[in-house]
Every structure is written in structure tokens, then in C-alpha cells.
């Protein structure tokens, strides 16, 4: 059995369970318990506070875990980053009161900065050769300047609305973070094999999410142009249509290039373009 640690409650809990589910892994009880097992995959799920996960993975209490990269770097345990999951995206930023004029990082010199990420912040300040006082607190960092506890803060931001409502402005981005799979460095061969299987499934789910299946009709004299736009996994599937001089083209298109590709396809006289979600994509 591979033991995986996920967040008990909080921002990463739901997406972590959803990811396992999309990988065909059904858990036998919810996260009210400390532990769950799967019916159909050799995995055991432990629910912990996210801050504890790097330590538990390092100690071998869990073999792997899902945490924000920010937590991985802050805890600085000797464990591996096995895979970037693409959810839980946020950034760790320095923010100062809106009213303060800020002209660059040198303005942080001598400031008192409140944070729960003292390790990452200290490394950053060292790198930038800035002397500032780090005031470590465990929560509600964003209120620190308002109550006179600090001049600035360093905290996680996604939309920025929390900063805004607390009269703060983001001035430096220290780290861009997302949820990652971390792994103990000394997994047995059996556990490594299970992890490989799991990562293959995760990769299939993630690839499917980033891609769409596309079908269209095109005049034969444009097939070369269209095939160049739609590489597919090898090349697009091209099937002649009953109507003379036309073919049906089927391929996969990446979400990031989607609209650009569609516009070009139209220029190359593509018609009847149908786009469908892909559930799994095994590469």
C-alpha cells in the first residue's frame, strides 16, 4: 500500500479528493476520519494539516503527499517534488499599506514584515540583500499593518481581494505556487511502482483537461495547412467525406492555443467545427 497524505480540510482538500476520483480511485469513507482506503487501488489516504505533511512524508508516516509548493519550501525537508498538479495556484507576495509610496524592493529595508512564511521570506531578503525584521505570526497576517504590528506583510494571494479589503497593495511576488505531489526519498521498489502508476493516471487526467477533441470538415486542397495546425498525437486523422473534394479531420487541440487555432482553421475554410471535452488521455 502506498500511503498518501492530503489536507484534512482547507483549500486543497476537495481538489485532492477530486483528483484521486478522476484517477478512478474511490475512497471508502469521507475525510471525517483520519484515514481512508481505496476499493480499487493499493493506496491509503491520511488526512492531516497541510503544515505537517512535509514532516510526515520525510519521516515515512506517509510515503507521498499533496501540499502547496509554498509549504514544501517553507518546511525545507529533504523530500522530492514528484509532480506539479496545476491546482491551488497562488503567489506568496509582500504587501504594504495602500497609502505608502513604494518605489522598489529597497524600500523594504528596515521594515517590520509580518508573515507565516519566515523561511521563504528570509531567503528572499538575503538574496536581495535587504535587511528587514521578520515578525512571524501564525494567522490573520493581513491585519498586522492595520493594528500597528508590522509595516508590511508577506502572505499568500490569489485574487488579491483580501489585500484590497485590508487596505494593502501587493508590491513584490516572491514565489508562484501550486499544489504538488511530494515524495519520500527512500520508497521501496513496490511503492515506487504504485507511485508510477498513480502519476501516469494523474498525467492522463491533466492532459485531458488541457486538451479538447476537435472534428471538422475541410476542402482537400487545404488539408496540408490544417494538418500543420493540428498535430494531434501523431498526425490528425483524415477521412474522405462522401462529398467529392472534402475530408473530415479529427485531432486534439491544446486549450491554451484553442481560439487562435480555431480562427486559423476558419481562414483555411474549415467548416462544421465540433469541439468536445476529453475525459482521459493516455499518452
Q: Interface with Mg ion includes 50 (CB under 5 A)?
A: yes
Give the single-character DSSP code of 20: H
Please state the closest distance from residue 171 (CB atom) to ligand ATP, in A. Answer: 17
Please state the closest distance from residue 7 (CB atom) to Mg ion, in A. Answer: 8
Query: Which partner in Mg ion, ligand ATP, none is near 7 (CB below 5 to 8 A by kind)?
Result: ligand ATP
Which cell numbers in the block locate residue 212?
Answer: 479538447
Q: Closer to ligand ATP at the Cβ: 162 or 250?
A: 162
Decide: 193 and 88 in contact? Cβ < 8 Å. Answer: no
Q: Closer to ligand ATP at the Cβ: 88 or 236?
A: 88
CA–CA separation, 254 vs 203, rounded Å?
15
Q: Closer to Mg ion at the Cβ: 8 or 206?
A: 8
Q: What are phi and psi of 70, to 5 degrees?
A: -60, -40
Query: Which partner in Mg ion, ligand ATP, none is near 152 (CB below 5 to 8 A by kind)?
Result: none
Identify which of 49, 61, 45, 56 has the alpha carbon closest to the alpha carbon of residue 12.
49
Query: Which partner in Mg ion, ligand ATP, none is near 21 (CB below 5 to 8 A by kind)?
Result: none
Which cell numbers in the block locate residue 106?
Answer: 529597497
Q: Which helix (H) or strand (E) segment is 174 a member of?
A: strand 168-177
In this chain, which stretch among 45-53, 98-106, 149-157, 194-202 interacts with Mg ion, using CB under 5 A?
A: 45-53
- Work out the angle at residue 77's Cα, subtended by the Cα atoms of residues 41 and 50, and round it to the nearest 5 degrees: 55
Most distant pair of Cα atoms in the chain: their distance? 77
Q: Which stretches of the chain bind ligand ATP, using CB under 6 A? A: 7, 10-12, 49-51, 68, 70-71, 88, 90, 156-158, 177
Query: Which partner in ligand ATP, Mg ion, none is near 126 (CB below 5 to 8 A by kind)?
Result: none
Residue linked to cell 493581513: 142
Give the binding site for Mg ion (CB under 5 A): 50-51
Amino acid at each position: 500500500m502506498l500511503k498518501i497524505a492530503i489536507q484534512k480540510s482547507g483549500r486543497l482538500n476537495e481538489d485532492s479528493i477530486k483528483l484521486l476520483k478522476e484517477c478512478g480511485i474511490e475512497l471508502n469513507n469521507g475525510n471525517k476520519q483520519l484515514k481512508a482506503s481505496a476499493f480499487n487501488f493499493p493506496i491509503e489516504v491520511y488526512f492531516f494539516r497541510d503544515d505537517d505533511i512535509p514532516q510526515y512524508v520525510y519521516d515515512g508516516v506517509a510515503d507521498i503527499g499533496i501540499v502547496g509548493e509554498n509549504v514544501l519550501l517553507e518546511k525545507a525537508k529533504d523530500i522530492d517534488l514528484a509532480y506539479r498538479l496545476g491546482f491551488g495556484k497562488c503567489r506568496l507576495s509582500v504587501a504594504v499599506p495602500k497609502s505608502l509610496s513604494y518605489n522598489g524592493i529597497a524600500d523594504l529595508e528596515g521594515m517590520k514584515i509580518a508573515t507565516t512564511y519566515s523561511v521563504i521570506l528570509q531567503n528572499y531578503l538575503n538574496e536581495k540583500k535587504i535587511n528587514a525584521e521578520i515578525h512571524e505570526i501564525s494567522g490573520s497576517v493581513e491585519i498586522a499593518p492595520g493594528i500597528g504590528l508590522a509595516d508590511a506583510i508577506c502572505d499568500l494571494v490569489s485574487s488579491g481581494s483580501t489585500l484590497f479589503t485590508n487596505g494593502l497593495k501587493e508590491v513584490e511576488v516572491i514565489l508562484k505556487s501550486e499544489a504538488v505531489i511530494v515524495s519520500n526519498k527512500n520508497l521501496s521498489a513496490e511503492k515506487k511502482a504504485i507511485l508510477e502508476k498513480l502519476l501516469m493516471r494523474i498525467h492522463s487526467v491533466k492532459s485531458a483537461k488541457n486538451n479538447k477533441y476537435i472534428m471538422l470538415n475541410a476542402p482537400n486542397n487545404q488539408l496540408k495547412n490544417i494538418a500543420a495546425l493540428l498535430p494531434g498525437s501523431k498526425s490528425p486523422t483524415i477521412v474522405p467525406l462522401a462529398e467529392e473534394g472534402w475530408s473530415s479531420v479529427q485531432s486534439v487541440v491544446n486549450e491554451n492555443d484553442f481560439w487562435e487555432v480555431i480562427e486559423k482553421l476558419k481562414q483555411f475554410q474549415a467548416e462544421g467545427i465540433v469541439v468536445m471535452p476529453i475525459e482521459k488521455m493516455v499518452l
